[in-house]
Amino acid sequence: MSDIPPPPPTPEETHRFPCEQCGADYRFDPDKGTLTCDHCGHTIAMQDEGERIRELDFRAALNDQLPAQEIEETRTASCPNCGASVEFDPATHAVECPFCATPVVADTGANRHIKPRAVLPFSWSERAAHNAMNDWLGRLWFAPSGLKDYARKGRRMQGIYTPYWTYDADTKSSYSGQRGTIYYVTRTVMVDGKPQQRQVQKIRWTPVSGRTARFFDDVLILASRALPKRYTDALQPWDLSHLIPYSPEYLAGFRAEAYTVPLDEGYGEARAIMDRTIERDVRFDIGGDRQQVHRIDTTVSDVTFKHILLPVWLAAYKYRGKTYRFVVNGQTGRVQGERPWSAWKIAFAMILGALVAAGLGYIIAQNQ
């Protein structure tokens, strides 16, 4: 995607909101769904304006023709270790990367990017996410006890709004192939010198062609490279029906990661998902017992997209010189992460298994 033209000068968003009573910062409270001041306890209810979440035109974005109000400037820095693009507020100059615990220093440049159109607010609090992570760690076999103890010391987790693209598209496909129908014929075969009749499976192939159509709604593509995709994919499913129009108040007290996967690259991933779905539709349309697909020609139209933010609780722990990362779905509490292996626990289990096998063998031998 080519560079996006700079928008008119606007105040930089800081995602910090001063308390009406004491001047300290509000934060969004997932348990109450309000802006809450940790200093004096004052709360503000979030306003539900009922605004419809608009999609943006994909081709207009590729041609740098989005309206200026769809573009924003933020201050970000790239982590030298994992490549995460971390957003800073003007008063912050250095932080620890929430994805890998590497120190990150803010630069002086601004990053222009497409504004988020929607956000899925955190519904799991930090305490609940921490408990979910500890439960997950407790179920790991052969993990060093020291890591579990280290993680349970209560070190804070970082709430991160992770960027995603969603794509909508209308597709119409024509195809050609063959439908296979299974039938059986009787054959006489010789078994131990004696003739026996057997049923032999055959397939009758018939040429077919046809058309299918499907509208794709909200094909979800991760727009970040900070975490291994196998972890973020494992956090699914997300219930996108709870998306609400983007408002910076929901980011109060949290960090937001800028997207690093360009819009057109994300669309390439979305098309691969669409193509697999279309092939399944074609096979269903061909019918029969077996299918062969020779050709699928797909026309894609009315492609739209939106940039959305999904909630993730993240902990990065350095244990014995190595960083281990844990992620918790901020909507459902689903946990994924990296784990080390305890060599002595594995060795002990192998020795114990060998002793049990030897004991069973001895008992069996004595009984015989």
Instruction: Write out the two tokens for 163.
Output: 């960027």
User: Given pLDDT bands bounded at 50, 70 and 90, which one contains residue 261?
Assistant: very high
Q: How buried is 123 (Cβ within 10 angstroms: 0-12 exposed, 13-18 middle, 19+ buried)?
A: middle
- Per the prediction, the chain carries an average pLDDT of 81
In whole angstroms, give the CA distance from residue 347 to residue 87. 44
User: Given pLDDT bands bounded at 50, 70 and 90, which one contains residue 176?
Assistant: very high
Give me the pLDDT at residue 136, please: 75
When pLDDT is averaged across residues 91-114 and rounded to a whole number, the result is 65
Give me the pLDDT at residue 88, please: 59
**Is 30's pLDDT higher than 70?**
yes
Helix then strand then coil, in percent of the chain rounded to 5, is 25, 40, 35
Give me the pLDDT at residue 297, please: 98
Share of the chain above pLDDT 70, in %: 71
CB within 8 Å of 144: residues ≥ 6 apart = 319, 340, 341, 342, 345
pTM of the model: 0.78
In whole angstroms, give the CA distance from residue 145 to residue 156. 20
Lowest mean pLDDT among 43-57, 59-73, 229-243, 285-299: 43-57
Give me the pLDDT at residue 162, please: 92
**Is 141's pLDDT higher than 80?**
no
Give me the pLDDT at residue 205, please: 97
**Is 341's pLDDT higher than 60?**
no
Task: Count how many Cα atoms sit within 13 Å of the Cα of residue 328 in the half-sphere of its side chain.
Answer: 26
- Which tens digit of pLDDT belongs to each residue from 303-318? 999 999 999 998 877 6
CB within 8 Å of 52: residues ≥ 6 apart = 245
Phi, psi angle pair for 306, to nearest 5°: -155, 150
**Is 73's pLDDT higher than 60?**
yes
User: Given pLDDT bands bounded at 50, 70 and 90, which one contains residue 49?
Assistant: low
Per-position DSSP letters for 188-257, written without gaps between them: EEEETTEEEEEEEEEEEEEEEEEEEEEEEEEEEEE---SS-HHHHHHT----GGG-EE--GGGGTTSEEB
Amino acid at 233: D
SS3 171: strand
Lowest mean pLDDT among 146-150, 169-173, 216-220, 275-279: 146-150
Instruction: Write out the two tokens for 26.
Output: 């509000």
Amino acid at 152: R
Residue 230: how many other CB atoms lie within 10 Å: 8
When pLDDT is averaged across residues 287-307 and rounded to a whole number, the result is 97
Q: How buried is 317 (Cβ within 10 angstroms: 0-12 exposed, 13-18 middle, 19+ buried)?
A: middle
**Is 12's pLDDT higher than 70?**
no
